[in-house]
Amino acid sequence: MDLGKIVWTVSFVLVLCSTPMLIPDLIGIQRSVEIASGADLWYDGELSADLLRLQVSIRAVEPDSRTEVAEEVMLRLDNVFNRINAFPEAGSAEWHTWAAGREAGVAEVRRVIDRIDRYLPLLRTDRAAFRTLADRTVEEAVVVHRRVLFAGSDHQNVLVGQIQRQVSVFQMKLLGYGAGSALLVLALVWLMLRHVGAEKELRKTNRDLRDLTDRLVVARDAAVRSNEAKTNFLANVSHELRTPLNAILGFSEALASGIFGRLASRQEEYVGDIHQSGQRLLALINDILDLAKLDAGKLELREEAVALDMLAAEAVRDLRVASRAAGVTVDLTPAVGNVTILGDPLRLRQILDNLLSNAIKFTPWGGRIEVALERFADGRTVVAISDTGVGIRAEDVARVFLPFEQIDSRRAPQVQGTGLGLPLVRQLVERHGGTVRMSSQPGLGTQVLVELPPERALRAETSPGPIAPGNSVADHSPRNMA
């Protein structure tokens, strides 16, 4: 039998034989410490502080005080209720020093505070009466809670005395175990020396793991550099493509305008196809450049105050020709109230254009697209674009926001695209601190919600301008913006 196992066995027997004598005392001391270190005194202290803060805020109420004073009272009152609701239940692991009468005292505090809650309507009608009634009531709550504090303190003192007696008894018993403990310590020292060798092996293993980690970091950095090289390559190639493309677009426009002579019908058709294809290629290059900048973190927002309703009206007006050609009606619901935000107007317009163009593409002849804006009470600004298009399956919703991803469009075979519009929308919205959500059902249509955070909301000095003529306006309730 290994010597180490023998030492462990002897030590275990010694501990096992002394356990029946030591464990009861240890358990008693541990239980007393747990009881004495309960969380109730901390909770009582926090509740007492909240009550005093509530009292101070109530006494600050004057007949001509500002609205912030009333809001401070309601905030402090909510803090008191939250503190009472956060109290652990009697007998739980967090509450050991439950004293007689405490539960009834805390319940009495709640009943008193409930009366203040019923006085709150007086803040709007008679602040002087509210201050008189609420001050008297909160003083009563402080007195009731003070009695609870005193009862808890008395109980705590009794527990401390009990712990001191238990520790004294345990110290006397511990002296008798000195010799056995010394032998046990010597055995453990020998075992520690024996484990030193195992620790050296463990350190060697740790060094090997660190070396492996370093190699993984190097591989990760190489992958990051490769991704940056890819992004730079896309940006450079896209930039270089613009020069010949501008010449193609310029010359095709000149030819189509007849500046160099009238073209035959077939020539005019071909020149139109060249110009249209060039425009599509230019849009693709611009999208690739934007994605490259977003991936590299180099796209900067030029932020200013933007009237979102007017920007949406412009987007709808500029897409009027495309919507009529597709046989689709675009309805813009005027916003209720102010929807001015802080953002980059160029990028916000790009978001609206991509979403509206996408809706027009996938909405069949005779369909309808609705654009609605709403500012919620918490400051969030939401733009909802709904269509009656072909829709997509629920499992494909996440894919449409990935670059170059195109969903099976057999329901709309005439649609062409590169799959960059929605990924650009998602990244541009996220750069503004917002989120994009899509809900869709095949054959029923799609709804896209763009939500901008409250910190983007601005308070306009003047009301937003009217919607430009020519845009149809439909009844649209904010409740439908699910």
CATH number of the domain enclosing 131: 1.20.120.240
Lowest mean pLDDT among 73-77, 149-153, 209-213, 380-384: 149-153
Q: pLDDT: is 25 or 401 the higher one?
A: 401
Residue 239 lies in a domain: no
Asked whether 151 and 105 are in contact (CB, 8 A), the reply is yes
Residue 213 lies in a domain: no
Which of 411, 405, 446 is closest to 424 using CA atoms? 405
pLDDT: which is higher, 454 or 468? 454
Task: Say if 283 falls within a structural domain.
Answer: no
pLDDT at residue 348 is higher than 90: yes
* pLDDT at residue number 150: 77
| Boundary of a domain, candidates 137, 158, 176 | 176
pLDDT tens per residue, range 107-141: 888 888 888 888 888 888 888 888 888 888 888 88
Which of 118, 141, 176 finishes a domain?
176
Asked which of 229-243, 260-274, 291-305, 462-476 is least confident by mean pLDDT, the reply is 462-476
Mean pLDDT of the chain: 77
Higher per-residue pLDDT: 273 or 215: 215
Task: Identify the band that residue 40 occupies on the pLDDT scale cut at 50, 70 and 90.
Answer: low
233-246 residue pLDDT tens? 666 666 676 667 77
Compare 414 and 296 and report the one with higher pLDDT: 296
Q: How far is CA 408 from CA 258, 437, 439, in A?
A: 41, 20, 17
pLDDT at 469: 35
What dihedral angle (degrees, nearest 10) is formed by the CA atoms of 474, 477, 478, 479? -140
pLDDT at residue 37 tops 60: no
Which residue, 311, 449, 431, is CA-closest to 382?
449
* Residue with tokens 């675009």, as numbered in its chain: 330
Half-sphere exposure of 347 (CA within 13 A, CB side): 22
Q: Above 90 in pLDDT, residue 384?
A: yes
Which helix or strand (DSSP H or E) is residue 248 part of?
helix 178-257
Q: What is the pLDDT at residue 140?
A: 87
Domain-embedded: residue 290: no
pLDDT for the residue numbered 424: 84
* pLDDT at site 58: 86
Q: What's residue 256's pLDDT?
A: 76
Structural tokens at position 111 = 């009943």
* Among candidate residues 284, 299, 298, 295, the one with its CA nearest the CA of residue 230: 295
Cα torsion angle, 93, 98, 104, 110, sign: negative
pLDDT at 92 over 60: no
Is 60 exceeded by the pLDDT of residue 466?
A: no
Q: Are 293 and 235 in contact (CB under 8 A)?
A: yes
66-89 pLDDT, tens digit each:
888 888 888 988 888 888 887 666
Q: Which of 56-60, 197-201, 329-333, 468-472 has the lowest mean pLDDT?
A: 468-472
Q: Is residue 252 part of a domain?
A: no
Phi and psi torsions of 435, nearest 5°: -135, 155
Domain count, the chain: 2
On the question of pLDDT at 259 being above 90, the answer is no
Whether 163 and 310 map to the same domain: the answer is: no
Q: HSE-up of 140 (CA within 13 Å, CB side)?
A: 15
Q: Which of 34-43, 187-196, 249-258, 416-425 has the lowest mean pLDDT?
A: 34-43
The residue whose two tokens read 């705590």 is 156
Residue with the bigger pLDDT between 143 and 98: it is: 143
Confidence of residue 387 (pLDDT cuts 50, 70, 90): very high
Cβ atoms of 95 and 38 closer than 8 Å: yes
Fill in the amino acid letter for 269. Answer: E
Give pLDDT, residue 386.
93
List, in sequence order, the alpha helices (H) in 1-121.
Answer: 3-36, 40-59, 67-85, 102-119
Average pLDDT (393-408) is 73
Q: How far apart, in whole angstroms, are the C-alpha atoms of residue 441 and residue 339?
A: 29
Among 176, 206, 226, identify where a domain stops. Answer: 176
Q: What is the pLDDT of residue 402?
A: 76
Burial per residue of 215-227, b for 16 or more beta-carbon CB atoms within 10 angstroms, e otherwise: eeeeeeeeeeeee
- For position 176, what pLDDT does the model report? 59
What element of type H or E holds 349? helix 345-361
Give the pLDDT score at 385.
93
108 within some domain: yes
Q: Hey, what amino acid is at 449?
A: L
In whole angstroms, what is the distance from residue 188 CA to residue 182 CA? 10
CATH code of the domain in which 341 resides? 3.30.565.10
Is 101 within a domain?
yes
**Cβ density class 377-412: b for 16+ within 10 Å, e for less:** eeebbbbbbbbbbbbbeeeeeeebbebeeebeeeee
Say what the pLDDT of residue 63 is. Answer: 83
Domain assignment of residue 451, given as a range: 304-480
Q: Decide: helix, strand or coil at residue 87.
A: coil
Distance of CA 21 to the CA centre of its chain: 55
What pLDDT does 475 receive?
Answer: 35
Looking at the structure, tell me whether residues 13 and 158 fall in a common domain.
Answer: yes
Instruction: Tell whether 298 is covered by a domain.
Output: no
- At 398 the pLDDT is 77
Higher pLDDT among residues 460 and 313, named by residue: 313
Percent share of the chain, pLDDT over 90 = 14
pLDDT at 376 over 80: yes
- CA–CA separation, 287 and 174 (whole Å): 79
Residues 15 and 161 in one domain: yes
pLDDT at 38: 55
Q: Are residues 321 and 465 in the same domain?
A: yes
pLDDT at residue number 471: 38
